[in-house]
Amino acid sequence: MELKILHWFEELHNPVLDFLMYQITCLGNGGVIWLVIAAAMLFVLPKRYRKTGATVVAALLISLVICNGIMKNLYQRVRPFHADTTFENLYRVFDRIYDWSFPSGHTSASFAAAVAIRLWNKKEGIGALVLAALISFSRLYLTVHYPTDVLASVVFGSAYGGTFFEVSGYCGEEFSFGIGGSIAFFSDGKAGHLERRIFKNLPETCVFCFVFTVQDQRLHDAAYDGLFHGVVGF
């Protein structure tokens, strides 16, 4: 049944939509668009956006760990294009996918971030939810996920975003300072800190620090080739 639905999506293929859907799905690779938005909220936009940015980053982290790190390896569902080799390999996207199908990491991360943004900022959140929906739709259009992969991931991601919205509200302003002070990206072993903050004023009840380590410069491959460490204390 689900393969039939994906074949229906394949009937929508045309050069314009093919290009648009591929570009949209690339925005979700490694959660890159959401990381950029979160970084802007933490370090560029006015202070009132800091807690939103911190919530987005935390939700993305838990989505990566649970969906990509645990659930995919637990369920080990084969991709649709492996189950049915007649699907069109648009932009050779199949050739760059090496993990399992369930759940959809793109969808989970997108809705985790979008729901977090929506809960803190209702106006900006509308655009975030639209983008999350488009990224999710692109996964079906490109036939790289089953419909149930995407639907389940909408629920998972929304739960992550909602959970960290509640957590950030409980922790107060220190939550955003903890997140902002502990993000570092490593590429080829060299650290490039986005921003450094001193933790001496943070209460012991709210310390949240994590480091992305990316051996390959593409965030898309971070989950496979890099190391992703999280240290959480509440």
User: Tokens 């189950």 identify what position?
Assistant: 83
Q: How crowded is residue 39: how many other Cβ atoms within 10 Å of its Cβ? A: 19
pLDDT at 134: 97
Q: What's the pTM?
A: 0.74
pLDDT in tens, 109-121: 999 999 999 999 8
| Tokens, residue 228 | 């992703």
Write the CB contacts of 159 (distance below 8 Å, at least 6 apart in sequence): none
pLDDT at 227: 29
All domains of the chain in start order, with CATH = 2-183 (1.20.144.10)
Q: How crowded is residue 9: how many other Cβ atoms within 10 Å of its Cβ? A: 17
| Tokens, residue 227 | 């190391």
pLDDT band at 164 (very low <50, low <70, confident <90, very high): confident
Q: How crowded is residue 42: how many other Cβ atoms within 10 Å of its Cβ? A: 24
Which runs of E-coded beta strand occur in the chain?
184-187, 190-193, 207-214, 227-233
